[in-house]
Structure 1
């Protein structure tokens, strides 16, 4: 697979009331208490820096225990200049994987699923034979199944990128309604990434579409419906859900895909049928809902503490950017030098990128969303070159999560 494909696919590894707070309220302190651990002026300067570096629009929320800072910078629409606001809904990509993993762990708690049982026990027609006997539910959750990602086969024009590839398949499939089994079979038919259970694992969306089918088998309802009823709604996430059509309902920004300069100017991919990722990366959410969700999860309020401990047992996994990361069961462990350890996930779909991180004690949180992706140009070897946005994002992250 070409080096650049690592950054082409759906990236997944680079609590209080959900009442929106406006940028003005965040700046003045109305609706959020002052914090002694983060400086609002520094955060404002840092988020403005991301916009100045070239990001059309960016919005974020930082929490320090009960203290909240929420703000935005830039535009939601490059044509009209409509400003971005911090309460906007956003396609959050692979952050969806944590929700799917939580739903699976709920079924584990009920005794309907065994973590170390072979997937062939539950889905013998879909994953038959030796592969079905060797791959366990846990291996799907932590990406050590050895199953490759189906994405290069769903979007075939990207396979030879950057030498000969194009973004034609992004547009060809814009309104296509995929069935998860169709995509899973693409992954099953492709050459395996590795043997089941081998570490480091290989990050693959095929795993999480299979987990969606597993949820449907044991619960008797569609996976997205199960996750909505048993994870999203009980957590009080009022602005989180799987889109039922091609549009994002409610206030949102337009989202733009640059594809490493191949699309110039960046193309608007706001309207898109997200069936190509479903239980792997299909959710829409807001920065405050994401912080609420991860805060509740790490506090043991969504699954039992014993389930959370299982989710936090990490293995090395090769990310879609080629890095080795610590990945648990739908959770990514981030270790930031001088700042500590954080749990969460990130996600990218065409045009949208998101990151959510929560400290080990659950008190310090950051969620950030951006409406432009793959802004880096490529070098001669096909690797993304450094861009000022990268430095600005790093500066904001340190300001948000480091004392």
Structure 2
């Protein structure tokens, strides 16, 4: 395991850190640097912007409200938020379609960061301290050409859906979505280092976060200081690898939503991800089938400069959470297609070792896992 993590660093990631739980043991390790200028090392307990892993937290909060009868999964979103999704689409798109990305609403990011359409990083720098309103971003997605028909599969992954779910939470609870998620999901799971950032800076030990933007930023730029209002309840959370494993263990063990809600969350449909691949997506959960290793549930996430993945086996006996501090390292070829990079192979090997090695975790710093291990 340690050599596999070090290989990710040597392949080109400045810093990587992980926690793996298996066979009653927990392994934490880090390799590389948190700051390429000073050489400050990464450590296993650092906080990280975990991107779209936030969607699982938001989906769990929605399911709690479904259990209380305040939200109906198959009700039109127009019944709740007619001003945000007006007219026929508001009548056709259901809450379930927002959760599983089959609403047909396109992602707003290309409109919030317009220079990306011209292959320029200018928008990333311009928006570093910009404060977006959720309704403003939702409007970009709703007003754009549809990505598909409501309910059609494969669905199209879209952050617009999860900002709408945040607005829905506020509508039915009377509290800001971030406050509700903190009180009823984060605190229920007893996560000590997870939360929505209060401003552009991350509190506590963390790495700088380097964005290559497919070679447009050379060298990669540090975006660790950034106003995360551009992604809100879709991808703004900060967490640690220990907290992520604790969260998914608690969720998949029935400790955050009911068993019936969890069954709904595990009902998957094919969805086209932002990178063009097709994934099996439930209600805020990815399903990952690995030949010879079994089925895993969880999510991955990327924001500018930070990438994270967290997966838990269906039986709850094995967990993996990995963070890296560089994103979009694949430079395009002459046709514009991102080229394969040694980092891709190193990460694949790390994930395979973490999820598929038989028996206990082999590492000199492996210790007995806490009681929360499922």
Question: 2:10 corresponds to which residue?
Answer: 52
Report deviation, 1:65. 4.4
Q: Deviations over 1:147-187 (max 9, x none)?
A: 00000000000113xxxx20100000100000000000000
The partner residue of 2:96 within 130, 138, 142 is 138
Q: Deviations over 1:272-313 (max 9, x none)?
A: 000000000000000000000001111111100000000000
Question: 1:192 corresponds to which residue?
Answer: 146
The partner residue of 1:119 within 77, 87, 105 is 77
Report deviation, 1:379. 1.2
The partner residue of 2:286 within 332, 350, 353 is 332
Question: 1:322 corresponds to which residue?
Answer: 276
The partner residue of 1:94 within 30, 52, 55 is 52
Moved over 4 A (4+): none
Query: How many residue pairs get matched?
Result: 357
Where does 1:29-178 land on structure 2 (aligned, <5 Å)?
A: 43-160=1-118, 165-178=119-132
Question: 1:222 corresponds to which residue?
Answer: 176
SS at match of 2:214: helix
Question: 1:248 corresponds to which residue?
Answer: 202
Q: Deviations over 1:102-157 (max 9, x none)?
A: 00000000000000000000111111111111000000000000000000000000
Report deviation, 1:66. 2.6
Report deviation, 1:377. 1.1
Q: Aligned partners of 1:97, 1:65: CA distance in 2, in Å?
A: 28
SS at match of 1:344: strand
Where does 1:222-301 land on structure 2 (aligned, <5 Å)?
A: 222-301=176-255
Q: Which runs of 5+ in 2 are unaligned?
A: 359-374
Q: Is the 8 A contact 1:239 1:286 kept in 2?
A: yes
Q: Deviations over 1:355-379 (max 9, x none)?
A: 0000000110000000001111111
SS at match of 1:361: coil
- The CA RMSD over aligned residues, in Å, is 0.7
Q: Aligned partners of 1:267, 1:125: CA distance in 2, in Å?
A: 38
Q: Is the 8 A contact 1:65 1:362 kept in 2?
A: no
- TM-score, normalized by length of structure 2? 0.95
Q: Which runs of 5+ in 1 are unaligned?
A: 1-42
Q: Aligned partners of 1:307, 1:321: CA distance in 2, in Å?
A: 29
Q: Aligned partners of 1:391, 1:204: CA distance in 2, in Å?
A: 27
